[in-house]
Structures are given as C-alpha cells and as structure tokens.
Amino acid sequence: MSAPESAEKLSMHVDPTERAWIRASIVILVVFAVSVTIAGFMLGIQVPTTEQRVNPQTVQDALPWSEPGVREIVAGEQYDVYIVSKRFFYEPGTIEVPAGAEVTFYVTSTDVQHGFKIGDTNVNFMVIPGQVSTLTHTFDDPGTYDYICTEYCGLGHAVMFGSVTVTP
C-alpha cells in the first residue's frame, strides 16, 4: 500500500528551487516579449532586412539601380534613396534630403561585401552582393551625416564613405 503511494509522491515532487526557476524563466520570457514589442512598435527599432535578391552583374542595367540616388515620393515627407556600393566608393557619394522626412535607404553591392553605417543614427547594416538591404530613418536635425563602410572590403576600405546633407 505504502510503496506505490510514495512512488507517486516522488514523481510529482518538484523541488522548490526548481519551481522558483521555472517561474523566473516564464517571467523572463514575458519581459523579453514585452521589450521586443515596445522596441519594435513604440521606439521604431528595426532589424535590417533583405528587401530583395538581385544579380550583382546586371543590377545596374536597369532602373532604379542604373540611376542611383534620391527619389522624391512625397515632397518634404517621404524619400527613397538607392545607393550602390563598390570598391571603394558609394554611388552616389553625396545625397540631400530635408529634415523631418521619412527616408528609406536601399543599398546593394556589385562586387564584394561592404557595410553601410550612417553616423549618429541607427542605420547600420551589411551590404551583400546579390541582395538589397534596407532601413528607414527620419533625420530630425539638419546637418551633415557621413555614411561609412563598416566591413573590410579591400585596400581602399578606410576611404570608402559618403555623406547625407539634411537641409532645414
């Protein structure tokens, strides 16, 4: 009588420490889920995404990549920017957008892997030949923001940069 009873008790037993950690793990998961939701939907923090796949050999044969640069979608409010990364420069090397506008960057490479980081912003991603990387940013303050290559791409890596001029 007593043997099966004690076996049942044994199988049901959860150590208090283990129970505490199971609860802590659930709390941590909830905290993470809430943090990610706040970061994504309230703070607007984005993960760089692969917009599309392209052929790096032929990508510049057609629009928009044959004429990289700024496209005005809504004057003063919304702009698309197409930038081609090459050893060891960006095409175009300078762009101009107005302050307060929503600017979406589309960046690709025709040769090797590069980086794309705009100073004083959260725009920072890898540029991989065959892919288009994209992020959206709103420049609130007028000024000059340099974009630099953050992935070693060869001897000229250190001089690979461009700049965004944000006008009032």
58 DSSP assignment = T
Residue 117 binding ligand CUA, by CB under 6 A: no
45 DSSP assignment = -
Per the listing, tokens 């912003």 go with 121
Left if phi > 0, otherwise alpha if psi is -120 to 50, otherwise beta: which for 74?
beta
Backbone phi, then psi, for 6, in 5-degree steps?
Answer: -70, -30
Residue 83 binding ligand CUA, by CB under 6 A: no
Residue 32 binding ligand CUA, by CB under 6 A: no
Residue 101 binding ligand CUA, by CB under 6 A: no
* Measured distance CA(130)–CA(70) in Å, rounded: 21
Q: How many residues bind ligand CUA (CB under 6 A)?
A: 8
Which one, 115 or 145, has the nearer CB to ligand CUA?
Answer: 115
Instruction: Give the nearest distance from C-beta 160 to ligand CUA in angstroms.
Output: 4
Residue 153 binding ligand CUA, by CB under 6 A: yes
Instruction: Give the nearest distance from C-beta 59 to ligand CUA in angstroms.
Output: 17
Instruction: Give the nearest distance from C-beta 113 to ligand CUA in angstroms.
Output: 8
Instruction: Give the nearest distance from C-beta 89 to ligand CUA in angstroms.
Output: 8
Interface residue with ligand CUA among 101, 114, 131, 137 (CB under 6 A) is: 114
Paired strand residues for 79? 72, 103
Binding mask 57-76 for ligand CUA (x = CB under 6 A): --------------------
Is 69 within 8 Å of 81 (Cβ atoms)? Answer: yes
Residue 111, class by beta-carbon neighbours within 10 Å (0-12 exposed, 13-18 middle, 19+ buried)? middle
* Measured distance CA(97)–CA(55) in Å, rounded: 28
With contacts defined by CB under 6 A, name the span among 23-31, 96-104, 136-144, 153-161 that binds ligand CUA.
153-161
Per CB under 6 A, residues contacting ligand CUA are 88, 114, 149, 151-153, 157, 160
